[in-house]
């Protein structure tokens, strides 16, 4: 908090308030720091602040959102700003975003999860991470699951509550990969670990509110045959060109869902130029997503 989070946000908020036309004296009074500190913040590169916040798994877009909220509240009064600051910090702790930075300084805390457990009543963070961990364990113990893993590897995303963005979705950093013909998670689940799959899930939730978890799998003729055994309701997208400036898959998912009617269990992405065909399975929770994936893997291996 004191070494990374607070100084970085003070610098970014100082710059934003300065851009809004506030003089340094007023900024220093609003933030409770000296004018000399404000001057130093304004003359320093903002990239250092963004880089420091990235150690807490806070991206630039997310940092800018925090800065906008804090800047507005700082002008309203110190109590409002302090309450907002502590709400943000509790969220960071509860989602496990500060864990890597903390463990890097104190290796003895490798297995510590006290912040997530303490904040769980507020955020539900620890429970969500635990649910995804258990689902990943189910996949790792399966001998048949690697057969349905795509070349881009697998991720499992879970939105435990109302999610506004990927930072509210639990997933696996670095994905689930094949190691000696077994599925292995690269790291413990955490909030904000997936941009692509989390966004696929969030887009799908807008069409079907019961959807809370998503897993991506291989898609080919054998998977098509395996899916017939489970009679899954599907939506098909694909045939697009890879976008150098964005994620064309997300555009196609949104378009496919907009034109669909009724419930769906999966989205079939037939791929396109430079895009591997994929299957996105949806369920009400991570364990159910894993179990559905294993059922498909069983039929896939048998066909």
Q: 248-275, pLDDT tens digit by residue?
A: 888 889 888 988 888 899 999 998 777 8
Please report whether residue 64 resides in a domain.
yes
Please report the pLDDT score of residue 124 as a whole number: 56
Please report whether residue 140 resides in a domain.
yes
Which residues fall within 8 angstroms of residue 159, CB to CB, at 6 or more apart?
A: 168, 169, 170, 198, 201, 202, 205, 212, 213
For residue 227, what is the domain's CATH number? 3.40.225.10
Please report whether residue 69 resides in a domain.
yes
Quick one: 138 and 79 in the same domain? no
Which residue in 142, 303, 145 sits closest to 224, CA to CA?
Answer: 303
Quick one: 218 and 131 in the same domain? yes
What's the per-residue H, E or C state across 150-199? CCCCECEEECCCCCCCHHHCEECCCCEEEECCEEEECCCCEECCCCHHHH
Quick one: 138 and 230 in the same domain? yes
Total number of domains in the chain? 2
- Cα–Cα distance for residue pair 168/287, rounded to 1 Å: 18
Quick one: 69 and 150 in the same domain? no
123-141: average pLDDT: 84
Print burial letters for 25-37: b (CB count within 10 Å at least 16), e (below 16).
eebbebbebeeeb
- Cα–Cα distance for residue pair 210/205, rounded to 1 Å: 7
Please report the pLDDT score of residue 19 as a whole number: 95
- State the pTM of this model: 0.61
Please report whether residue 117 resides in a domain.
no
Quick one: 214 and 98 in the same domain? no
Q: What is the number of other CB atoms lying within 10 angstroms of the CB of residue 268?
A: 20
Please report the pLDDT score of residue 123 as a whole number: 54
- Cα–Cα distance for residue pair 55/84, rounded to 1 Å: 21
If you write DSSP's letter for every residue of 247-275 in order, what string do you get?
Answer: -HHHHHHHHHHHT--S--SEEEE--BBTB
Please report the pLDDT score of residue 82 as a whole number: 84
Quick one: 256 and 171 in the same domain? yes
If you write DSSP's letter for every residue of 95-139 in order, what string do you get?
Answer: TTTTHHHHHHH-GGGTT--HHHHHHHHHH-HHHHHHHHHHHHHHH
Quick one: 85 and 143 in the same domain? no
Q: 53-94, pLDDT tens digit by residue?
A: 998 888 898 898 889 888 988 888 777 788 788 878 887 887
Compute CA distances 194 → 1, 30, 159, 172, 203, whole Å: 24, 36, 12, 7, 14
Which residue in 34, 44, 36 sits closest to 11, CA to CA?
Answer: 44
Q: 153-202, pLDDT tens digit by residue?
A: 999 999 987 788 888 899 998 899 999 899 999 888 888 888 899 999 99
Of 105, 138, 168, which residue constitutes the final position of a domain?
105
Please report whether residue 26 resides in a domain.
yes
Quick one: 280 and 225 in the same domain? yes
Please report whether residue 273 resides in a domain.
yes
Quick one: 259 and 141 in the same domain? yes
Quick one: 129 and 82 in the same domain? no
DSSP state of 22: -
Please report whether residue 114 resides in a domain.
no
Distance of CA 17 to the CA centre of its chain: 29
- Cα–Cα distance for residue pair 288/301, rounded to 1 Å: 20
Quick one: 289 and 183 in the same domain? yes
- Cα–Cα distance for residue pair 98/111, rounded to 1 Å: 14
Q: 208-250, pLDDT tens digit by residue?
A: 888 999 999 999 999 999 999 999 999 999 876 655 546 788 8
Please report whether residue 86 resides in a domain.
yes
Confidence tier at 121 by pLDDT (50, 70, 90): low
Which backbone phi and psi does 244 adopt, to 5 degrees? -75, -15
Residues in the chain: 303
Q: State which residues form the domain around 78.
A: 5-105
User: Burial, 61: exposed, middle or buried (Cβ in 10 Å; 0-12, 13-18, 19+)?
Assistant: exposed
Please report the pLDDT score of residue 53 as a whole number: 94
Are 116 and 93 in contact by the 8 Å Cβ rule? The answer is: yes
Quick one: 84 and 128 in the same domain? no
């Amino acid at each position: 908090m004191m070494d990374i989070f607070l100084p970085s946000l003070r610098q970014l908020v100082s710059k934003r308030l300065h851009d809004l036309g506030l003089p340094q004296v007023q900024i220093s009074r609003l933030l409770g720091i000296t004018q000399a500190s404000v001057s130093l913040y304004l003359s320093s590169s903002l990239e250092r602040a963004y880089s420091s916040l990235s150690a807490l798994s806070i991206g630039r877009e997310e940092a800018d959102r925090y800065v906008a909220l804090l800047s507005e509240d700082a002008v309203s009064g110190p109590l409002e700003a302090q309450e907002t600051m502590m709400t943000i910090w509790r969220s960071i702790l509860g989602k496990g975003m500060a864990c890597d930075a903390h463990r890097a300084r104190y290796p003895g805390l490798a297995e510590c999860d006290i912040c997530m457990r303490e904040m769980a009543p507020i955020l539900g963070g620890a429970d969500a991470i635990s649910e995804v961990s258990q689902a990943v364990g189910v996949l790792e113990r399966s001998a048949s699951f690697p057969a349905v893993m795509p070349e881009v590897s697998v991720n499992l995303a879970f939105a435990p509550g109302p999610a506004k963005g990927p930072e509210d979705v639990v997933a696996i950093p670095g994905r689930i990969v094949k190691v000696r013909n077994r599925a292995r998670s690269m790291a413990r689940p955490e909030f904000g670990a997936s941009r692509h799959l989390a966004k696929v899930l969030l887009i799908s939730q807008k069409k079907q509110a019961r959807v809370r978890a998503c897993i991506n799998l291989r898609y080919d003729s054998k998977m098509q045959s395996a899916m017939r055994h489970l009679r899954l309701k599907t939506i098909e997208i694909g045939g697009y060109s890879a976008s150098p400036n964005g994620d064309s898959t997300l555009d196609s998912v949104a378009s496919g869902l907009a034109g669909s009617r009724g419930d769906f269990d999966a989205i079939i992405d037939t791929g396109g130029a430079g895009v591997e065909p994929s299957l996105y399975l949806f369920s009400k929770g991570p364990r159910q997503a894993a179990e559905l994936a294993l059922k498909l893997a069983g039929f896939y291996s048998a066909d």
